[in-house]
């Protein structure tokens, strides 16, 4: 048993969809979450800048003596994860790419898998490479959806909202026409759009939530190491690098429950 916390980070609030999944299957764990709200979005940045940001995010979370770290950001997972893992070899660290690719490979029947993600994630080719390594017969059709993150961060994610509905149709209708039967939501902001995406893609397309896939791998990793916590219930502590009050309001909606404590501010440039 290991009662130390799990660290989780994302560029903003999107990674909270992964936290929601982690809490539902690992309710005893303490979680420390960092949302880099002063530098969101990550998805339009270069690999060099992303690595610098991600190193600071990891350094901050490591000040808490964490037992594992979840990179709940598709963009950092696709561009910087191997470097971060090599630099923190003593810490179990997982991203969202491999878990969601494994799930997609096991779910697809017609071997046509779609990917929607940020521009940086799509540009990296990481999902295509990972899927090719798992099953060389699968075709991957990718689509960058750069407007999704700012819309979600601004609370425009509800079905019926004309702005998000219009943007989603423009991105997704061409993807539906390619005949995919599985779609990876390769950015942790996108599960907030599940209803809208499912409606456009139709019932024949299975959506893969990358945070949920990562949560299952995290449970396995901790269990293999004998590091699961056993206590009544764990806590969630939230940090943001800008406007913690706004982040707190959005976080409650993402987590679908009131927050246990106020979001704390961190000056991430100090790390």
Catalytic site residue 73? Answer: yes
Q: Which listed range, 5-13, 53-61, 160-168, 250-258, lies at the site for ligand DGL (CB under 6 A)? A: 5-13
**187 sits near ligand DGL (criterion: CB under 6 A):** yes
**Identified binder of ligand DGL from the candidate list 30, 75, 206, 241, rule CB under 6 A:** 75
Dist CA 126 CA 43 (whole Å): 14
Among the listed residues 8, 73, 104, 172, the single catalytic one is: 73
Give Rg (Cα) of the chain: 17
State which H helix or E strand residue 32 sits in: strand 31-35
Which helix (H) or strand (E) segment holds residue 87: the answer is helix 81-87
Region binding ligand DGL by CB under 6 A among candidate stretches 23-31, 38-46, 55-63, 259-267: 38-46
Residues 126 and 78: beta-carbon distance below 8 Å: yes
What is the C-alpha separation between 182 and 108, in angstroms, rounded? Answer: 6
Q: Looking at beta carbons only, is 11 or 241 nearer to ligand DGL?
A: 11
| Contact between 42 and ligand DGL per CB under 6 A | yes
Q: Which residues contact 137 (CB under 8 A, 6 or more apart)?
A: 111
Tokens 């299975």 label which residue? 206
Site size for ligand DGL (CB under 6 A): 17
Contact residue for ligand DGL among 43, 99, 114, 191 (CB under 6 A): 43
Query: With respect to ligand DGL, which residue has the nearer C-beta, 69 or 229?
Result: 69
Residue 189 in the binding site for ligand DGL (CB under 6 A): yes
Instruction: For 169, list phi and psi in degrees, rounded to 5.
Output: -65, -40
Residue from 31, 73, 113, 251 in contact with ligand DGL (CB under 6 A): 73
Residues numbered 144 to 183 that lie near ligand DGL (CB under 6 A) are: 149
Long-range residue pairs from 170-175, CB within 8 A, at least 24 positions apart, any chain: 171/116, 171/143, 171/145, 171/147, 172/116, 172/143, 172/197, 172/200, 172/201, 173/200, 174/143, 175/114, 175/116, 175/141, 175/143, 175/201
- Distance (Å, rounded) from C-alpha 239 to C-alpha 248? 9
State the nearest-atom distance from the C-beta of 192 to ligand DGL, in Å.
10
Interacting span for ligand DGL (CB under 6 A) from 40-48, 60-68, 127-135, 246-254? 40-48
Pairing type for strands 182-185 and 139-144 reads unpaired
Does residue 248 touch ligand DGL according to CB under 6 A? no
Q: Contact letters (x/-) for ligand DGL, 108-147, by CB under 6 A?
A: ----------x--x--------------------------
Instruction: State the catalytic residues.
Output: 73, 187
Q: Which residues bind ligand DGL (CB under 6 A)?
A: 10-12, 14, 40-43, 73-75, 118, 121, 149, 187-189
């Amino acid at each position: 048993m290991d009662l130390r916390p799990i660290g989780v980070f994302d560029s903003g609030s999107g990674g909270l969809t992964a936290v929601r999944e982690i809490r539902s299957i690992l309710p005893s764990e303490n979680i420390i979450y960092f949302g880099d709200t002063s530098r969101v979005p990550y998805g339009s940045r270069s690999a060099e800048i992303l690595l610098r940001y991600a190193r600071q995010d990891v350094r901050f979370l490591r000040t808490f003596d964490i037992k594992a770290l979840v990179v709940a950001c598709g963009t950092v997972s696709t561009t910087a994860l191997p470097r971060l893992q090599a630099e923190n070899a003593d810490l179990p660290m997982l991203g969202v790419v491999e878990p969601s690719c494994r799930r997609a490979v096991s779910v697809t029947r017609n071997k046509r898998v779609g990917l929607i993600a940020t521009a940086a994630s799509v540009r990296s080719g990481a999902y295509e490479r990972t899927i090719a390594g798992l099953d060389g017969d699968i075709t991957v059709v990718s689509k960058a959806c750069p407007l999704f993150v700012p819309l979600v961060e601004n609370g425009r994610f509800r079905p019926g909202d004309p702005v998000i509905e219009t943007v989603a149709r423009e991105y997704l209708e061409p993807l539906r026409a390619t005949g995919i039967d599985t779609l990876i939501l390769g950015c942790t902001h996108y599960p907030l759009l599940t209803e809208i995406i499912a409606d456009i893609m139709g019932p024949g397309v299975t959506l893969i939530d990358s945070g949920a896939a990562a949560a299952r791998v995290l449970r396995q990793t901790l269990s293999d190491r004998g590091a699961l916590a056993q206590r009544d219930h764990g806590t969630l502590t939230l940090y943001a690098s800008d406007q913690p009050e706004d982040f707190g309001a959005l976080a409650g909606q993402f987590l679908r429950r009131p927050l246990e404590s106020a979001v704390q501010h961190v000056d991430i440039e100090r790390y």
